[in-house]
Structure 1
Amino acid sequence: MEYLDFELPIKDLQEQLEKCEIIGKESDVDVTQTCKQIEKKLIDTKKEIYKNLTPWQRVQLSRHPNRPYTMDYIKALLGNTFLELHGDRGVKDDKAMVGGLGKIGGQSFMVIGQQKGYNTKTRQYRNFGMSNPEGYRKALRLMKSAEKFGIPVLTLIDTPGAYPGLEAEERGQGEAIARNILEMTRLKVPIIAVIIGEGASGGALGIGVGDRVLMLENTWYSVISPESCSSILWRSWEYKEQAAEALKLTAPDMKKLKLVDEIVKEPLGGAHSDRATTFITVEKAILNAFEDLNKLSPKELVQQRMNKYENMGVFKG
């Protein structure tokens, strides 16, 4: 397990607990009471740390290398029912954007999401979760197929942004994202979007328009990353913590501004600390959202979705 800077007190206590348990196993000394005291202190320390997280610390948690990615959720929620579909029928198959058909709790979904890599080799293969235009066009093709067969769409958002390379711009990166946003507003099937990690800029918006937008507790959603914001405003990355605070990018901020519909609670310590519980919680939130949306006709779905996005950013004095 890797630990972030602010998690070091937890690491120290965890190591103390492990040593205590080893002593108990390898000697005749009764250390039960000592282990219980350390365990209690560990739980109390975790509660104290995770109860008072700053926006920047939540950004760090969203990028934790052990945090579950899109394919982890697909394996846990859909299992062997998942059939991956490839290609945009134009240029190529974008490996940063994955999608396909599968079942969650007996209900079919078209699942689309950004996939980061687990090590250097797979990160390069997945382009660090940054999609090219063909990734967004693949996503749109799959969404249109889902609409044709009346299958709800589930998107899993986790990206540092759309790929900003020259070749991506040459192939119409901005148009591809804009086209997805337009088409998603009028798709005639339920769309549930879940932010499972980073939700950065147009890269997230390209698959982020939904009837229900769910956001895990330790994720972020913003037009720009704190580092990029800091480099623009202060000409340095040193002010990234201040930028994270100013951007109002955390789940509670997004919920307060009515930009997301629900915050999905994570286990104590973050999604990476207890993956099994995280998967169960996310599955329940998805099925609850679908149950509500399934009662609406296609016309009602589109109308509600349009109204929802038209009302964003509207304030009455």
Structure 2
Amino acid sequence: MEYLDFELPIKELEDQLDKCLVIGQESEVDVTNTCKQITKKLEETKRSIYKNLTAWQRVQLSRHPNRPYTLDHIKALCGETFLELHGDRGFKDDKAMIGGLGKIGGQSFMLIGQQKGFNTKTRQYRNFGMPNPEGYRKALRLMKMAEKFGIPVVTLIDTPGAFPGIEAEERGQGEAIARNIFEMVRLKVPIICVIVGEGASGGALGIGVGDRVYMMENTWYSVISPESCSSILWKSWDYKEQAAEALKLTSADMKKQKLVDDIIPEPLGGAHFDRESAFKTVEQYIIKGFNELKDLSTDELVAQRMDKYCKMGDFKE
């Protein structure tokens, strides 16, 4: 298990507990009470740290290398029923954007999301979860296919942003994202969006328009990353913590501003500490969202979705 800077007090106590247990096994010394005291202190320390996380610490948790990625969620939610579909039928298959058909709780869904990769080789293969235009066009192709057959859509968002390279701009990155937003607003099937990691900029918005938008507790959603914001405003990455607070990018901030519908609670310490529990909770929210939407007519569904996004933000005419 890897530990972040603010988690080091937890690591120290866990190391002490391990040493205490070893002493008890290798000698006749009774260490039961000592182990109980360390365990109690460990629980108290965990609760103290994780109940008072700053915005920047939540950003760090969303990027934790042990945190489950999109494919982990899909495998847990759908098992062997998931059938991945490839290509945008125009240029190529973008490995940073994955999608396909699968069943959750007996109901068929079209699942779409960004995949980062779990080591150096797979991160390069997945382009670090940064899709090119063909990734968003593949996502749109799958959504249109789902619409044709009346299959609800689930998107799993985890990206540091759309790929900003010259070749992506040459192939129409901005247009691809804008087209997805335009088409998702009027898609004639239920759309449920879940932010499972990072929700950065247009890269997240390209698959982020939905009837229900949920954020996992230790994720973030913003027009820009704290580091990029810091480099623009202060010409340095040193103010990223300040930027994270100012951006109001945490799940609590997003819920307060009514930009997301609900927060999916995570196990103490984050989704990576108890993956199975995290997967079950995500599944419950997806099924709950679908049950709220399944009986709406097509006209009601689209009208409610449009009305939802029209109400966002304060403005005067």
Which of the five TM-score ranges fits, normalised by the shorter chain? Answer: over 0.9
Q: How far apart, in 2, do the equivalents of 1:27 and 1:216 lie?
A: 45
Q: Does 1:153 align with 2:178?
A: no
- Equivalent residues in 2 for 1:262-301, closer than 5 Å: 262-301=262-301
Partner of residue 9, structure 1: 9
Shift of residue 110 of structure 1?
0.3
Structure 1 CA distance for aligned equivalents of residues 296 and 23 of structure 2: 61
Please identify, of 12-21 and 161-170, the stretch whose mean Cα deviation from structure 2 is larger. 12-21
In the alignment, residue 132 of structure 2 is paired with which amino acid? N
| In 1: Cα distance, 2:42 partner to 2:205 partner | 39
What residue in structure 1 maps to residue 142 of structure 2?
A: 142
- Residue 260 (structure 1) aligns with: 260
The secondary structure found in structure 2 opposite 1:167 is helix
Paired residue for 2:87?
Answer: 87
Q: How does 1:155-194 map to 2 (within 5 A)?
A: 155-194=155-194
The residue type paired with residue 102 of structure 2 is G
Query: How far apart are the structure 2 equivalents of 1:19 and 1:188?
Result: 59
Rounded Cα–Cα distance in structure 1 between residues aligned with 2:27 and 2:214:
50
Deviation for aligned residue 1:315: 5.6
Number of corresponding residues: 316
Report Cα offsets for 1:244-279 as digits up to 9, x if no partner. 000000000000100000000010001111111100
The residue identity in structure 1 corresponding to 2:274 is: D
Partner in structure 2 of residue 246 of structure 1? 246
Within-5 A mapping of 1:26-65: 26-65=26-65
Q: Which residue of 2 aligns with 1:121?
A: 121
Q: Deviations over 1:195-224 (max 9, x none)?
A: 000000000000000000000000000000
CA distance in 1, matches of 2:115, 2:63: 13
What's the Cα RMSD here?
Answer: 0.8
Find the aligned partners of 2:22 and 2:115 in 1 and give their Cα distance: 39
Residue equivalent to 1:69: 69
* Structure 2 residue ranges without an equivalent (≥5): none
Match of residue 306 from structure 2? 306
Any idea what SS the aligned residue of 1:92 has?
Answer: coil
Q: Distance in 2 between matches of 1:287 and 1:155?
A: 13
Q: Secondary structure at the match of 2:295?
A: coil
CA distances 1:79-137 after superposition (whole Å, capped 9, x unpaired)? 00000000000000000000000001111000000000111100000000000000000
Q: Distance in 2 between matches of 1:220 and 1:203?
A: 13
Measure how far apart 1:314 and its partner are. 2.7
**3-state SS, counterpart of residue 72 of structure 2:** helix
**Matches of 1:268 and 1:291 in 2, distance apart?**
28
Determine helix, strand or coil for the equivalent of 2:197: strand
Q: Does 1:208 align with 2:212?
A: no
Aligned partner of residue 47 in structure 1, secondary structure? helix
Q: Which runs of 5+ in 1 are unaligned?
A: none
Identity of paired residues, percent?
80
Whole-angstrom CA distance in 2 between matches of 1:284 and 1:292: 12
Residue 33 (structure 1) shift = 1.4
- Partners of 1:297 and 1:99 lie apart in 2 by 26
The AA in structure 2 aligned to 1:240 is K
In structure 1, how many angstroms separate the alpha carbons of the residues matched to 2:85 and 2:170? 25
- CA offsets per residue over residues 30-86 of structure 1, 9 Å max, x none? 211111111111110000001110000000000000000000001111000000000
1:100-115 mapped onto 2 (5 Å cutoff):
100-115=100-115
